[in-house]
Structure 1
Amino acid sequence: MQRPIARVLPMLPLPHLDREFDYLIPAELDEQAQPGVRVRVRFAGRLVDGYLVDRAETSEREGKLGWLDRVVSPVQVLTPEISRLVDAVAERYAGTRADVLRLAIPPRHARIESENREPVDPPVIAAPDVSAWSTYTLGRALCEALGEGKAARAVWQAVPGEEWPRRCAELAAQVAVTGRGALIVVPDQRDLDRVANACNEIIGGGTVSVLSAGLGPAQRYRRWLAALRGHARVVVGTRSAMFAPVHNLGLVVVWDDGDDLHAEPRSPYPHVRDVAIQRAHLSGAAFVSAGFARTCESQLLVESGWAQEVVAPRAEVRAHAPRIVALADSEAALVRDPAARAARLPAIAFAAARDALARDEPVLVQVPRRGYVPALACQDCRAPLRCRVCAGPMEMVSEDGRQAFRCRWCATRVGAPKCDACGSGRIRAQVVGARRTAEELGRAFPGVPVLTSGGEAVLASVQQRKSLVVCTPGAEPVADAGYGAALLLDGWALLGRADLRVSEDALRKWMLACTLVKPASAGGMVVVVADSGIPVVQALIRWDPAGFADVELRQREEVGFPPAVKMIAIDGDSTAVADFVAHGDMPQGTDVLGPVPLPAGARMPVQGAGADPEDVERVLLRTGRRSGAALAGEVRKVQAVRSAQKGAGPVRVQVDPLHIG
């Protein structure tokens, strides 16, 4: 037998066991035990799952070796490309390869593996029409580079109203013509459906595989295998598709990289954009970060010269954009009181909606918060109303046409809440949700149908007729011919959060809504209920996401926040965090910030038995980008040492966390 030693990576969660172990291969498993297959091995007296990473002639381990117990499946699911990517992601995010592999490879279904094993002849794909890319500077050059098999890298800024799913499909088709594969990752199911339809129309349904977490396990594994076996030339999916085994990968496209859904909530918390960049680099594939808005991370790719920006001339942008207006200073003073209906819908917004409805066109109304009245306060002293059982925030709900009060944490109901601070029974709304807004608009525009989209009931599209569509950010349905107007209410609620990315996130959400509105030449108008003097509002009015991202990046550099620096958050109880910092020999120039309480809204890390959930804090490790890999490597080493020594409690490690506070 040639190379009788199997090097196996066991699927164990402990960082100090994140390495290969050598096993002898029985003669009867010689043919099946190939690199990339799933195996079972005995480890510390019990059988565990693992992946056969490589085979070798000899072992460096002294002593007797155990035997490979069995080959679970002969399908080589861990391809060399995905194996290299898993290694790179684990290093980048200071995690374990076992955690990354759980994200990368779906669970096995034996019945599905027996289907469609035979190779298929690649279909003939016609070259797509890419004339629409002439709208953009370097747009045609990008298409030509993809058609020639070059590893082009671009940050594409789509013009307002762009049929972006079709543009993404054209890029994928341009690569598929050359015989290489393409991967397109989008944030949610609605975007996925639109891109999949465009790819099926342009490329052909037999060569497109659609992956999403919403598929059943069997169906997802079937489509994943179609990509692995080369039956699908193009893979379109949500976050879970970022590791899809696309055969001969030639292009990776990430749409709207600023969406929170692109951030994996499970360890080691990789972001789709960063995984795509790593994958394009390792595979020699092209990379395109696309969207209407622009994140600081994409701006950094342009400024560093790693990617070229593909943007439209200002004349084209103005031709496609709706007219966008904001409140003057005098009007902005009114919206400080969100309980006043007139302030929530100022005269300019009311007029824009009325004119669009008069033309029998739908009007989009974006409200930052869902629900009825999700936050209440005392009318007299302005103190927030709190539950007397758990001190959670109180909200007003509407049930069968009647209003009721309940706690948002423990659901305790109260007949007539009173302020704990002053005892007043007079209540005011701090924030008005989408459902209450729909009621108010129904009274303000009698006879006009009012539709809602958000939460569990998200509309994909609406008919091109007179109606008011109230939605939360990200749940905006598409109107076939575009909305006549859009009202972006309660801008203060989006901009008032204590978060590093609050302005970037607000601009992205507003722009996504504006792109659904008709151009100004066709009467399209957007009213944003926010002070016109705020820089992010000015960027929206000018439709200048690149300029805003540049300014935002300069500010991040001044204060030392990602992506201008590398930052790693260590979360856990005070003893565990102190123990972690004490074990580390961080690179020179690393700043240790904290400990501080977890930022509002951050998920609590998993703690040991008996730990106090209130004794959770965060330490931030910050260094320059050139030292980022060294810092991540040291953090990974500390994790392994503490794991082997059974350190003073678990911690959660997040590299460049999305929300710092």
Structure 2
Amino acid sequence: MSDPVVEPPVTDPGSGPVTDRVALPVARVLPLLGMPHLDRLFDYSVPPDLDATAVAGTRVRVRFAGRLVDAVVVERRRATEHVGRLAPVTRVLGEAPVVPAQLWKLVNLLADRYAGVRSDIIRSAVPARHVSAEKAGLFGNGVSWEELYGDLVPAPDLADAARQAALDGWAGYRHADSLLAAVLSGRAARASWLWTPGEDWAGRTAEFAAAVAWAGGGVLLIVPDQRDVDRLRTALRRFLSAAQITELTAAVGPSARYRRYLSILAGQGRVVVGTRSAATVPVPGLRLIMLTGEADESLVDPRAPYIHARETLRLRAELEECGFIVGGPHRSAEVQQWVEEGFCPTLRPDPGHLRSRMPWIHALDDVHDPHAAHARVPAAGFRAVRGALDAGRPALVQVPRRGYAPALACRDCRTPARCRRCNGPLELPPGSDGDAPPRCRWCGAPEMNFTCGTCGGRHLRMTVVGTDRTAEELGRAFPGVPVVVSGGTGVRADVPAGPRIVVATPGAEPVAEGGYGAAVLLDPWLSLGRADLRASEGTLRQWMEASCLVVPRADGGEVLVVARTDLPEAQALIRWDPERSAAEELGQRRSAGFPPATVLVAVDGTDETVEELRELLVLPGELGDPEVLGPVELPPGVRPPAGLGEQERDRARRLILRTPAHTASGQDAAPLLGGALRAAKSVRATRRMTGPLRVVVDPVRVG
């Protein structure tokens, strides 16, 4: 393992007395190199002219292995254990400490939890430096957060208004007033919030957040995507000015993001709204964290070490002892385990409040529909759509797949149709109406003369119907009614009131002004048939989220899921009992040995690199002997690790390590296993074993 290059020092803290000019002449720094074997602290001397600025948390430039690199000062010391002279810190990059103490603690916890490199986590958590942002300074010439609102209304009046709005808005939930009082007083109150159909979740979140912010506490609001950020920002404007809301998403430019980050560190960004990248933002005086859509896959960072924002926020809630509310109409097995462990109780609606908001939810087996062979939507679905349109409301049709006909098969033998050039799946392009030739979804080449490789058949049939084809058929069935498609790259945030049909993929449903009159959920077999651990849980969540957009039954609201009535997911939707369904899902995971009942690690690489890691892995005694599965071929749909192209996919292998979530003494097993994997990766890098390897702790998709 390499040490810094030895250069003449300004001071020699290892061999002589401390000078009067520099009281703490040693800076312990973490070089931001992204290499496992260099994920440790190095000592450098601090020149007198940098003594006041090279404080803990600042970014500096140091000479490492003959070149200048960025680093973060972790602490200052009087002496060093390094034998010899220390190289000096070259310069300080910005005066603000961008990695405060609580963020450094969180980085260490995440590195052990996810077997990651600390410099990678810091690069993801701290925006890149922009000198223009530093020159621009704080917003409003550095005024306080309260002064960013203006002087038109006194701050005590604003605080009282926000608190009263929260009490009124949350009145339909049991013990919500006690939760609000606990968070306002600074206690670490937590809850799993299960909201009702028709709930304005953005409004409830804004009321709670504004009450806490005007009481002097920092607030962090995390949602899955930009649409939710926009809804939340609009709801917050009832209580806060635009300058008081700090938004951190991918849509914010690099310079603006860095300036907002600096304003948060200075205390100006008391209310932070963002997506997964904002989960680590060090909000001073953090008193409340609220997470919405915790099971959404977009909350998982696609870059190493593949951190889930949900786990990050739980660690922060425990580390900073603040309030934590995770909300949604349904909850994942992970949050259900938190509930059963006592980490967060359930915040549920009063039964009467829930009944008043429920639409009529029922299921229908389309096999028994006499028109099923000729129509995209069953007769009961047409009646539901017609009823909503006659009432002057929009109707929602949820389709699991976008496109026109994204999957085709031989009409005679039902073998999936593949491209003769690249073996990709064939599809019908939008608007073809059966006249245009099919094309490959991978290479785009048209297939003019299809011939089935199994039976020699020359004719095709649609096995999956997408949003475009569904919208086309509904447009013919309801002439004169506008049809809106939302999904893929064309996601609509909202639609106006009035009769119209909205065809959307799960998660892309626009919010309708006044609510939908009906929702028809098509093709459940596509979602439930996925070879994925979370297929059932995710499908039920998507159905519940769509149902929440429909008006109550008293106003004619109806939800139809085109599935067998005895389907467990359909029954869970009809009962509207997310607690029971989450408990059953967690029970099944426990019996099968899947997360969150276990810690599961996917090691992807080649036969050689997977075996290298196994040989170097030294597990702590508390873990016992984890179960080892494989190695086997990489599952379909999983991209190969870096260093292996698609043409080398046949070389890719996956090894599974599995151990109970807690040791015999009750200790959390994830940081123990992650720390051991992290150490093994470091030794492997030291030995210059550079073959393709990827380590993912608790992957979001387990096929």
TM-score for both structures, normalised by structure 2: 0.91
- 3-state SS of 1:66 partner: coil
Structure-1 residue corresponding to 2:430: 398
- In the TM superposition, what is the alpha-carbon distance from 1:629 to its structure 2 partner? 2.4
Q: 1:530 aligns with which of 563, 566, 574?
A: 563
| RMSD between superposed Cα atoms in Å | 1.8
Alignment-derived partner of residue 676 in structure 2: 634
1:455 aligned partner? 488
Tell me what 1:417 maps to: 450
CA contact (8 A) 1:173 1:203 kept: yes
Alpha carbons of structure 1 residues 553 and 229: separation in structure 2 relative to 1, 3 Å: same
**Match for residue 114 of structure 1?**
135
Alignment partner of 1:551 is 2:572? no
Q: 2: CA distance between counterparts of 1:609 and 1:167?
A: 47
Deviations 1:612-641 (A, max 9, x none): 332111111111112332211111111111
User: Do the aligned residues in 2 keep the contact of 1:242 with 1:275 (CA within 8 Å)?
Assistant: yes
In the alignment of these two chains, the number of paired residues is: 656
- Match for 1:488: what amino acid? L
In the TM superposition, what are the counterparts of 1:410-489 in structure 2 within 5 Å? 410-489=443-522
1:513-592 equivalences under 5 Å are: 513-586=546-619, 587-592=623-628
Matches of 2:286 and 2:691 in 1, distance apart?
42
Identity %: 45
In structure 1, what is the equivalent of residue 49 of structure 2? 28
Q: Does 1:258 align with 2:295?
A: yes
1:321 positional shift: 1.5
Alignment of 1:85-100 (within 5 A): 85-100=106-121
1:612 alignment counterpart: 648
Question: Which range moved further: 187-196 or 391-400?
Answer: 391-400
Higher strand share: 1
- Aligned partner of 1:645 in structure 2 is 687
Paired residue for 2:257, among 197, 214, 220?
A: 220
Q: Which residue of 1 aligns with 2:378?
A: 346
The change in CA–CA distance for 1:33 and 1:200 in structure 2 (over 3 A counts) is: same
Q: Check the 8 A contact 2:600/2:659 in 1, yes or no.
A: yes
Is 2:483–2:500's contact at 8 Å kept on the other side of the alignment?
yes
Distance 2:634 2:578 in 1: 30
Q: Per-residue CA shift, 1:88-121, capped at 9, x if unaligned?
A: 1111111010110111001111111122346423
The separation in 2 between residues aligned to 1:223 and 1:60, in whole angstroms, is: 38
Aligned residue in 1 for 2:31: 10
Shift of 1:341: 4.1
**Contact 2:111–2:675 under 8 Å retained in 1:** no
Q: Would you say the 8 A contact 2:294–2:327 is kept in 1? A: yes
Change (3 A) 1:608 1:57: farther
Deviations 1:204-253 (A, max 9, x none): 33321111011111222222222111112100011111111212111111
Aligned: 1:371 with 2:403: yes
Report how far residue 575 of structure 1 moved. 1.1
3-state SS, counterpart of residue 613 of structure 1? helix
Q: Is the 8 A contact 1:94 1:632 kept in 2?
A: yes
Residue type at the aligned position of 1:242: A
Amino acid aligned to 2:633: P
Distance 1:423 1:463, change over 3 A: same
The match for 2:152 is: none
Instruction: Name structure 2 gaps, 5 residues minimum.
Output: 1-21, 147-154, 663-668
Partner of 2:282: 245
Local SS of the residue matching 2:462: strand
Letter in 2 for 1:313: D
1:200 equivalent among 203, 215, 237? 237
Of 146, 159, 162, the residue aligned with 1:126 is 159
> Are the equivalent residues in 2 in contact too, given 1:599–1:660 (CA < 8 A)?
no
Q: Partners in 1 of 2:632 and 2:479 — Cα distance?
A: 51
Cα 1:281/1:472, change in 2 over 3 Å: same
SS of 1:446's equivalent in the other structure is: coil
Distance 2:126 2:608 in 1: 35
Candidates 351, 355, 372, aligned match of 1:314: 351
Which has the higher mean CA deviation after the structures are superposed, 450-459 or 372-381? 450-459
Paired residues of 1:182 and 1:235 also in contact (CA < 8 A) = yes
For 1:122-159, what per-residue CA distance to the aligned partner results, in whole angstroms no more than 9, with x for missing partners?
41351322222121112111111112111101100011
> Aligned with 1:581: secondary structure?
helix
Of 368-377 and 135-144, deviating more is: 135-144
Q: Is the 8 A contact 2:369 2:379 kept in 1?
A: no
Please report how far the alpha carbon of residue 577 of structure 1 lies from its aligned counterpart in structure 2 after TM superposition. 0.8
* 1:295 aligned onto 2:318: no
Question: Could you list the per-position Cα deviations for residues 346-398 of structure 1 after superposition, in whole angstroms to 9, with x for gaps in the alignment?
Answer: 11111111111112211111110001110000010000001111111111103
Report what 1:623 is aligned to: 659
Q: Which residue of 2 aligns with 1:503?
A: 536
Query: What is residue 104 of structure 1 aligned with on the other side?
Result: 125
Which of the residues 620, 626, 636 maps onto 1:600? 636
Residues 153-183 of structure 1, C-alpha deviations (whole Å, 9 max, x = no match): 1100011111111111122122213311000
- Equivalent pair of 2:169/2:207 in contact (CA under 8 Å): no
Equivalent residues of 1:368, 1:433 under 8 A apart: yes
User: What amino acid does structure 1 have at the position aligned with 2:97?
Assistant: Q
1:43 aligned residue: 64
Whether the 8 Å CA contact 2:114–2:671 is kept in 1: the answer is no
Query: Aligned match of 1:79 in 89, 95, 100?
Result: 100
Matched position secondary structure for 1:448: coil
Separation in structure 2 between the aligned mates of residue 192 and residue 452 of structure 1, nearest angstrom? 22
1:243 is paired with a residue of what secondary structure? Answer: coil
1:136 match: 173
Note if contact 1:591-1:622 (Cα within 8 Å) is conserved in structure 2.
yes
